[in-house]
Each structure stands twice: as C-alpha cells, then as structure tokens.
Amino acid sequence: MLNRQGRATQPAVAPSTDPAADATFARAAGTILGHRGLDHEERLIFELGEDGRTGVDLPEPPKVESRLGGLARQGGIGLPGLAEPQVVRHFVRLSRRNYAIDLGLYPLGSCTMKHNPRLNEKVARLSGLGDIHPLQPQSTVQGALELIERLAGWIMTLTGMPAVAMSPAAGAHGELCGLMAIHAAHVAKGDARKRVLVPESAHGTNPATAALCGYVVDPVPATADGRIDLEAFRAKLGPDVAAVMLTNPNTCGLFERDVIAVAEGIHSVGGYFYCDGANFNAIVGRVRPGDLGIDAMHLNLHKTFSTPHGGGGPGSGPVVFSDALKDFAPLPFVRREGDAFRLVEDLREAPKSFGRMKGYHGQMGMFIRALAYMMSHGGDGLRQVAEDAVLAANYVMASLKDVMTPSFDGPCMHEALFDDRFLKDTGVTTLDFAKAMIDQGFHPMTMYFPLVVHGALLIEPTETESKDSIDRFVLVLRGLAEQAIACRDGGGDPAAFTEAPRLAPRRRLDETRAARTPVLRWKAPV
Amino acid sequence: MTRIAFTKDHEWISVEGDVGTIGITDYAQSQLGDIVFVDLPETGKTVAAGDEAAVVESVKAASEIYAPVSGEIVAVNDAVSANPVLVNEQPEGDGWFVRIKLSNPAELDGLMDAAAYKAFVEGLS
Amino acid sequence: MRYLPLTADDRAAMLGVIGAASVDELFADVPGPARLDGPLDLPPHQGEWEVEKAFRALAGRNLSPSEVPSFLGAGAYRHHIPASVDHLIQRSEFLTSYTPYQPEIAQGTLQHLFEFQSQVALLTGMEVANASMYDGATSCAEAVLMAKRQTRRSRAILSGGLHPHYRDCTRTMAGFVDHGVEALPLDLDGSEDLAAHLGKDVACVVVQYPDVLGRVSDLTALAEAVHAAGALLIVAVTEIVALGALQPPGAMGADIVVAEGQSLGVPLSFGGPYVGLFATREKFLRQMPGRLCGETVDADGRRGYVLTLSAREQHIRREKATSNICTNAGLCALAFSIHLSLLGEAGYVRLAQINHGKAVQAAERLAAIPGVTLVNQGFFNEFTLKLPKDAAAVVEALAGKRILAGVPGARLWPENPAAANLLLVAVTELNDDGDVDALVAALAAEVK
C-alpha cells in the first residue's frame, strides 16, 4: 500500500517574516537588497511593471467599425508593463538561478542529459523551416515533408522496425500512442483484452498510460539481480493479457537478458510487446530493438537525440511499430510517392488508424534538431555514443563501489544504480546526500527512483562528459560519501547534509506548505 | 465493548457495536511524511474488504487506504479534509478517515490485534 | 567527433578501472543474435557545414510565409516575435536546463512558470492555470477527461465550431474508453443548439471562441444552461491574441479554458512545438492535469517556488494519475511569457486592436469581390469566405503565384462537400496593405 518513500518536505523555517520583503532577503544574504556578488534577487514581473509601459512599439490600429459582435473586452486584464531593458534584465537574472547542462554535469539517471549542439538551434531557425505554416498547400512544403521522412528513415534503421509514427509530442504521449495502437489491434480482432503487465521498476508513465487506455495494470516483480522475473511473468500470461510494457535497458540500468523470452511469451498468448525506449542511449547503434521482438517502442528525441530540455519541455516521442501494429498508427503521417512527399491526414486513407493524437503534424522543431544530431554523428558516431555512455556509467560504478553501495552486481549499461545502504546509521538520507551535492556544485542524480530499491541514487553521466569531468564528479561523490559515513553513530558533521544546500540561491523549500495551502498565481495586494 | 484491529497495510479499525472507525497508524503517517491532502469517499458507498476506501497524499507519495472490512460508509471525517495535519498529529485519534457499518463482523477475526501489529512493525525495520 | 570528448587513451584507462578488456564485455547481456557487429547502414558523421548545407537545401524547397503575402490561420498564426524573445530563450540556463525537480537550483524556471501561470489565469479570466501542456488540441482532450472525472459522467458534446484537430484529439484520447465523445457537424448557418444535447449523463460541452470559422458569440447563456444540467463548459481558444480584444471565457461562465499559446513567442515551425494553455476554477484544482508551480518559503524564510500538488501526477499516482503527461511545453511557455511581458497590457490590447482592424479592412475588400461572400457576422482576426468554386484549387493556384491565401475547407473537413468552397483567412499585424492588395487581385482573377 504505502509508497514508502515519503520523506521530510518541510525545513525548519525561520521566525515569521514577509517572505518577499527586502529585509528577509537582506537578512539571509547579509547585504542590503539580498544580492550576493553576481547572484541577484529578482522579484516577480508583476511587481516590477507599471500600467502603460510597453517593450514593443506598435502602430496605431486602423480605425474601423468593430465586428466583435458586442463582445469587446470590458475592464483591464492586470498584466504588468515594462520597457525592453527591464524585461531583458528580469529574465537574464532569472536564468542565472538555474543549473543547466551547459554549466555542469547532470548525473540524472533515465534523463540522458547530454550536450545540446548549437548547430541544431541554427538549422531549426532557417527561413523555410522555422517559419512555415502547418497548413500550407503540401506542394509548398515538400522540403519539410522530406525532412520528416528522412528522420523517420534514420529512426527505422536504428531500431530495425518497419514503421514509425512521428506525431506524439513527448515520451509519455508516445507510450499512449503505442498502447492505443495495441488496443486498436486487439479490438480489430474482436478480442478486447483487460490486462497489461508492467514491471514494478517501471517509470510511472507506464502504468498511468495503461490505465488511461482502460487497462488493468498487473505488476511483475523483479528478481534479486534487478531484471524482470521471467517465471512470474510467465505465470501471469493468459488470453486476457493485451501487452507487456518493458523498459530495456531497464530503470535499474540493466539489460533485460530475458527480453527475447519475454517477447516470445507475450506473442504466444497473442499479446504485444511495448518497449519503453527512454534508455535507448545505452544501445543505439549496438542493438536494434526490432531484433528483440518488440512491437512498439517510443523514443525520446529530448533524451537520446539531444534536443534541449528547455526547463521541462518541449519533447518529442516518435513511436516505431512492427508490421502487426503499423496499420493502427495515428494520423497524420508522411508518405513518399515517387519523388514527392504527401502528408496523409484523412482517416479514409488509413481506415485502421486509431486517429489523431495532436494538433498538426508533430514536433517539427525537435525533428529538425534530432536529424541534425543524427547526421552530425552518422552511423559510426551513434554507435560510439552508446559505447561511451555505457563506458562512462561503468567507470562511475567501478570508481565508487567501494564507498557507495551498488544495488546489483556486475556491469551496468548507461546508468549506475546505488541505494542508501551505505548511509545506514549515519542520519543522512538519500535526500540529504543529494542536497549536499548542490553545495558542491552539482545537480543531484535521480533519487528515489526506481522504487524497487531503497533510497535509490541513479547516475547517468552520458557520453558527452570528458574523463576529467567524470573524475571530478567521482571525487565529489567519494568525498561526500566518506563525510556521510563519518557521521555514523554520532560522529562527523551531519549538518553539512541535513542543512544543505547552504550555497544555492535558495535553501530547502517548504513543499508541505506549497501543497497544503497552494498559491499558484500572483494576486495583486488589496 | 470496543475492539481494535490492524491490517498489514497499517490501517486500524476501532469497532463499537456494528460501526467501525478507520484510520492509519502512527507508523504509517511517519512513513508517508507530511500529509497534504486526504481524498475521502462519499457516505452511503458500499465497500468490500480490500476495496479502496480513501487516498492519502503527502508531498512525494500517494497511498490508498483500503477498507479492512466490508460494509457501508456512514460517515467521513471532514476535519481531515479541511486540515490534513490532523493525520500526522493524531493518526490514531482525531485523524480518522471514515466510519463504516460492518456487514460481516467475522472479517475482523482475520486482522491483527495490537500485539500482533506491534510485532509486525518491528519485523519491518 | 566534436560532441564525443573521450579519447582512445581515456577509454583504455576507464576500462582498466572497470576491469574489462573491451567495451564489448559491457554489452555481454545482449543476446548473441541481436548484437550488431559494426555500424548500421547509415551515412558516416559529418561536419557542421555539410549538415547545414543539407538543411538549407531542404529549407529551400519550402515557400516561406515570411517572404510572401500569407493569410494562413486555422489554429496557428503568424505574428511578429520581438528579437529579445529568441535571444532570451537561447540562454544556456533556460535552453539546457532540466525539469525543476531540485528547486534550490531551478528558481529561474520555477519563477517564470509561476509568472506564466499567473498570466494565463489573467488572460482567460480564470482562477488557476497549469504550467502548460503539449498544445491546444491535447489540452482540449485533457479538459474533457477532467470533466468526466469531476462530474463522474461519461458523455462529452463537441460543438461543430471546434477545430477538427481538437475534435479528433479529443475523440482519440477522451473517447477511448467509453466512446463518450459526440462531435456535432460543421455548422455553417449558425443553427447549432448545444443546450438541446444536454442530459444527466453529459459531463461537458466544448465550444471554440472565436470558433474555427472565426465567428464570435456570447457564451453566457450556454454556460448557464450547461451548469443547470450539472455539466461543465469547456472553452477552447486557438488564437490567444483574441483575448486582448474580446471578453475572456472566464467572464462568461467557462469552467475550463484551454488554448493554443503559439501566437505569442512561438514560431510557426510547421506545427510544433507549440504550447497548450489550461486554466480552470480553484474548486477543480485536484483534478487538473499537468505540472503546477506554487509559491512557498525556504529555510531562511525567503519566498521561492516549487512544483507542487505532484501527487496528481504520473510519477506518484502511477495508474491513478490525472493524466500520463510528464513534460510540459517548457521553453515555449517561457517564450510566451517573455513576449507577453514585452507587450504588457497596453501592447497586448493594442496588438489585438491592430489585428482586428486589419482583418475588418481585409474582409470588406475581399467580400466585395464578385462571387465571394463573407460567412461571418463577427470575427476577431480570422474569417471565412465562401468562394464560387473549390477553395483548395484556388489556394493551389495562388500558391503558384507565391501567395498563401488561407486554409481551404477541404483541408480541415475533407469528408464534407459543404466545406469545399470555404476559405479561412487570417489577417495579423504582419499583413500590410500590399499583402491585401495582392490577395484581392489574385483572388478576384481566380474566381472570375
């Protein structure tokens, strides 16, 4: 029942003061406005703006008789007005309070935070690509349609699959796409099924997606060595199982050795194999998921294929399909017809398709960036990506296994999983350890995921870190681990962990308060 | 005669006559962390033993509360809806969730008593 | 290879520490038959200028709306984006940062999301907004799912004035389990009576404002009827600049407002990435999908921001989540926010006035062409013309003359012959008199 990893979400807060007052900032920083050197406090745009000012010069509107049908806006909106210099300064100051991959290593397991090439930004902004309208006559956008088809070709070659749906907007959207195609395939056979098998280690989007499609989620346990329990999986197979959703490599950073047996098992009962491709960075160019028996798999262009994370999005989640499922793929899709390219949007031309999932055609801006990335690396470079990613993670694992506790024996793939056994009796939790990393200049690794180990710490360095960068990261983790272990049985300096971070723009924030009394927008003071 | 029983999912039920009051144990609230929201069912709803009776949310986790026994929900504790802190502060008192009219009191025999639950929790650490 | 820093020496040293003879050993778990011995049959790596050359070639085969008179709309609009916007979103700390799960080192992202949520709530006239979704169409589907959860009813009624992409996404995603999504047909004469479809099992009614043909109507009476029937009113806005001139849906009784935010800050980019806006009433907060950013304090008592109410989301609720959504539109939401910050209230309202004014002038001139009639009574910056012949053929012919005349009805309603002669024309601040001259002249010649 209990998602047992509840943990402290409330720091001990200073005596009550106005949290937005200069005095509060001044006290914390020891300066008059709360600025500290190059780190500036910055208020909300609503607190900076004034009526009437604008940062955009616009001409007089034409004088016309209104055709708004009597629905002209009554009253003001409440938006602040600022001139351009104030707006620029506001957002520049905000930007400086963010960690970023351009700034430092992100060891986030399952996120694949690799370098975002700037060439990709340049080509995405070319006139004729960044500024074309989705509903222009197709004869006027043949270059755009060819670009999508070319990217689709790379994706199919890399995965060894015969078809790909390009329209899903993100990984989770791609999962939905895959499961909907599976659902449609079963319904087309007159055999709507009820259950989807999902490993306990799966990312939360997997069961959420299955439930959205009306399936009952049946969790499959893991073995002691972190892989899916094949016997348990086989025991759960039956004619009512629609699909299995497997991440490979899995969320523990391990390749599922029994993947082909899983494929055979699910196919033997007439079900389909959905593969979560979030960890494709470990195997790109070295393994084709099509050779493992999958029926559908989403890729995250913002993970393996370097499109920028942008503080949380946008992403793109194309889904490859096997022959069994490809007819059910969503609309629209690009079809080559001789030398021309056509976007198929009409259900009458693809009657088995389960329909449309998104406005227009997909995340074209991310397609451009991902294709530029693929072309830059080439087949040879992409294979090297996987090798270096796996090498880097194993190097981290090997460098730290004597002082931190790896959850599983043997080599990992592109991410190294540790758990909090090394922190036992220190009074330092995984959370405290992670926050201490911030003071050391690093974004924490993925923590408390996957749920199958306690206090998980999942580290994915990626292939775009130099050895020097990884060595310095390892140095910091080793140092912190040793400091934490020194806190065992009452020694050391636990405050360096429990009060961390002390050096970031903010100390730990009261997440309990944010949830108990939500304040989700600015309101003008009365 | 009040009878108190516990489940492996860390719910307690305190039965007087044919009405049981249900909540989560102190161990459970400490594991969940600060409770921020409680999602209670509607009165009149019938539940079977093992059905979801409520959901408790902390900042980082959400947990189902299962009905330890079958019956009809006759009351819900609006106080915890309004003030989820109660669940952390008085989990085994004012922080109760629902009251249920038991349809099959024999189901209580399958649950743990206070001593058995205490031993169970010790075994978990 | 320029993005791969490890040298052969580095790799050898790392293998030494690992204790493996080669990297192949690290792939030992891969079943033999599935192991690829060498690179796949793909082109080898290329330097920057070769890649750029290839993309310029692809770009060169597309007709750019920046360079010719362009009147395309239908849910995506060509507006001027101030130079600062693209400059600011390319700052490393915005472009290359992760989701703000470690709030102490992500206050930049979190604060801009809080500002974004506030701006969206203000524009739509609603109480609370989320931190964005993929686009307007998927936001619409999510709104219907939310209405079904909130009311525990199974049917959704979609107005015929709803953009077909929004209709289809909603059918796909929200009609999936219970098929409870009924889309009314395109309503050319304005006779659609949504209230007549209300019933005890109807969770929500979805209308677009202005509708897909550009028509505007007061939704207040509909909102009252919908509420009286115990359902929710969902209003979809595809041109967010319209709310600078029009009454916001929140003032007319909307329960959920979904919108496409692309018009502010986000380039056309052939349809994506865009930014979905989602706003609702506070009493529905727990059922709202998507990320939420909230205000709080840190250990020193200073105001700060965090992602909050996460227990609704997939990474915690898993199969009981309000949605499976994980990402938001991130950088596109930032672009929206920066653009709106630059405009300010005065600029936003004036921008809307310019759009409406230019559209009124263009509509007058186009409706004066013999054979061409204006379908709309009212409109904001987009209206529908009825042509005396197939609009798709007209559009193709005008494209040959390097004019992007608008979106023909067949593109949106290919199965509806009544739509074939319709042309959706959008006019923005970027259309000057020369553009309209060219369109009027070419259209007149084509329909003679």
Is a pLDDT exceeding 70 seen at residue A12? no
Spans of all domains in chain A: 120-375, 385-516
Calpha distance A42→A33 (Å, rounded): 10
Q: Which residue of A has its CA nearest to C302?
A: A19
User: Residue C435's domain is classified under what CATH number?
Assistant: 3.90.1150.10
Calpha distance A329→A164 (Å, rounded): 8
- Check CB contact of B58 with chain C, cutoff 8 Å: yes
Q: What is the pLDDT of residue A44?
A: 96
Rama region for A440: left / alpha / beta (φ>0; ψ in -120 to 50; rest): alpha
Is a pLDDT exceeding 80 seen at residue C67? yes
Q: What is the pLDDT of residue C310?
A: 79
C262-304, pLDDT tens digit by residue? 999 999 999 999 999 999 999 999 889 999 999 999 999 999 9
* Distance from the Cα of residue C12 to its chain's centroid: 49
Calculate the alpha carbon distances from C79 to A161, B17, C262, C351 in Å. 40, 71, 9, 10
Q: How far is A5 from chain B (nearest CA, A)?
A: 7
The more confidently predicted of residues A5 and A25 is A25
Instruction: Give me the phi and psi of A245, to 5 degrees please.
Output: -115, 115
Q: Which residue of B has its CA nearest to A11?
A: B34
**Within 10 Å of residue A478's Cβ, how many Cβ atoms?**
15
Residue C252 and residue C209 share a domain: yes
Query: Quick one: tokens of B68?
Result: 């330890």
Chains A & C: contacts with CB separation below 8 Å: 743
Residue C330 and residue C371 share a domain: no
Question: Given the structure tokens 């820093």, which residue do they identify?
Answer: C5
Give B95's DSSP letter: T
Calpha distance C161→C173 (Å, rounded): 19
Question: Given the structure tokens 């709030």, which residue do they identify?
Answer: C103
Calpha distance A156→A161 (Å, rounded): 5
Is a pLDDT exceeding 50 seen at residue A3? no
Number of domains present in the structure of chain C: 2
Average confidence score pLDDT of chain A: 94
Question: Given the structure tokens 């003879």, which residue do they identify?
Answer: C21
**Which listed CATH number (3.40.640.10, 3.90.1300.10, 1.10.3720.10, 3.40.50.2000) goes with A120-375?**
3.40.640.10
Residue C366 and residue C317 share a domain: no
Q: Which residue of B has its CA nearest to A4?
A: B31
Residue C311 and residue C281 share a domain: yes
Q: What is the pLDDT of residue A17?
A: 75
Q: What is the mean pLDDT of residues C146-152?
A: 92
Evaluate whether residue C26 is within a structural domain: no
* A246: helix, strand or coil: strand
Question: Given the structure tokens 């009365």, which residue do they identify?
Answer: A526
Of A3, A10, A448, the CB nearest to B62: A3
Strand order in the sheet with C422-426: C373-374, C382-386, C422-426, C407-408
Buried b (16+ CB within 10 A) or exposed e, C128-158: bbbbbbbbbbbbbbbbbbbbbebbebebbbb
User: Residue C177's domain is classified under what CATH number?
Assistant: 3.40.640.10
Hey, of A216, A516, A517, A519, which one would you mutate to test binding to chain B, going by the most B CBs within 10 A of its CB? Answer: A516
Looking at CATH, the fold of the domain delimited by A385-516 is given as: Aspartate Aminotransferase, domain 1 (3.90.1150)
Where are the alpha helices (H) located in A160-258, listed in sequence order?
A: 171-188, 205-212, 230-236
Evaluate whether residue C44 is within a structural domain: no
Q: What is the pLDDT of residue A392?
A: 98
C302-350, pLDDT tens digit by residue? 999 999 987 676 555 655 665 666 568 999 999 999 999 999 999 999 9
Q: What is the CA radius of gyration of chain B?
A: 13
Q: Which residues contact A495 (CB under 8 A, 6 or more apart)?
A: none
Q: What percent of chain C has pLDDT over 70?
A: 96
Contacts of residue C240 in chain A, CB cutoff 8 Å?
none
- Check CB contact of B81 with chain C, cutoff 8 Å: no
**Within 10 Å of residue A63's Cβ, how many Cβ atoms?**
9
* C207 closest CA partner among C241, C243, C253: C253
Burial of A52 from C-beta contacts in 10 A (0-12 / 13-18 / 19+) = exposed
Give the angle subtended at the CA of A396 by the CAs of A395 and A401, to the nearest 5°: 105
Instruction: Walk me through the domains of chain B, giving residue ranges and CATH numbers.
Output: 3-105 (2.40.50.100)
Q: What is the pLDDT of residue C436?
A: 98
pLDDT confidence band for A2 (50 / 70 / 90): very low
Instruction: Give me the phi and psi of A104, to 5 degrees please.
Output: -165, 170
Residue C308 and residue C377 share a domain: no
Q: Which residue of C has its CA nearest to A52?
A: C346
Q: What is the pLDDT of residue A1?
A: 43
B83-95, pLDDT tens digit by residue? 999 999 999 999 9
- Domain holding C386, by residue range, is 344-447
Hey, of C46, C117, C146, C324, which one would you mutate to test binding to chain A, going by the most A CBs within 10 A of its CB? Answer: C324
Question: Given the structure tokens 């990506």, which residue do they identify?
Answer: A385
Buried b (16+ CB within 10 A) or exposed e, A146-165: bbbbbbbebbbbbbbbebbb
Residue C351 and residue C302 share a domain: no
* A306 closest CA partner among A162, A523, A112, A521: A112
Cβ contacts of B115-120, under 8 Å, gap ≥ 24: B116/B6, B117/B6, B117/B25, B120/B6, B120/B8
* A333 closest CA partner among A349, A322, A314, A317: A349
Calpha distance B28→B15 (Å, rounded): 20
Q: What is the pLDDT of residue A18?
A: 87
Q: How far is A74 from chain B (nearest CA, A)?
A: 36
pTM of structure: 0.95
Instruction: Give me the phi and psi of A311, to 5 degrees please.
Output: 75, 15
pLDDT confidence band for A4 (50 / 70 / 90): very low
- Pair A100, C96: CB distance under 8 Å: yes
Average confidence score pLDDT of chain C: 95
For chain C, the residues whose C-beta falls within 8 A of a C-beta of chain B are 286, 308, 310-311, 316-317, 320
Residue C129 and residue C100 share a domain: yes
